[in-house]
Amino acid sequence: MNEWLLIGAMTVLTFTPRYLPFGMAGKVKIPPILERALTFVPIAVLTSIITQSSLIRDGELALNLANHHLLAVLAAFVTALISRRLFIIVTVGLAAFIMAKWLL
Partner 1 sequence: MMSTKAKSSLFLQGALDSSPLILAAIPFGLIFGALAITTGLSSWATLAMSLFVFAGASQFIAVTLLASATALPVILLTVFVVNLRHMLYAASLMPQVENLPQKFRFPLAFWLTDETFAVVSNRVARKDDTSGLHWYFLGSALAMYTVWATCTVIGIIMGQQIPDIASWGLDVAMLVGFIGIVVPNLKLRADWACAATAMFSTLMTYHWPNQTGLLFSSFLAISVAILLDRRVKVSVEQNHE
Interacting residue ranges for partner 1, rule: CB under 8 A: 1, 3-11, 13-15, 17-26, 30, 32-33, 35-56, 59, 61, 68-69, 72-73, 75-77, 80-81, 84-87, 89-90, 92-94, 97, 101
Shortest separation between residue 82's beta carbon and partner 1, angstroms: 10
**Closer residue to partner 1 (CB): 51 or 64:** 51
Q: Is 76 exposed, middle or buried (0-12, 13-18, 19+ CB in 10 A)?
A: buried
Shortest separation between residue 68's beta carbon and partner 1, angstroms: 7
Distance separating alpha carbons of residues 72 and 93, to the nearest angstrom: 5
- Asked if 70 and 62 count as a contact pair (C-beta separation under 8 A), the reply is yes
β partners of residue 60: 57
Shortest separation between residue 8's beta carbon and partner 1, angstroms: 8
* Strands 56-57 and 60-61, sheet pairing: antiparallel
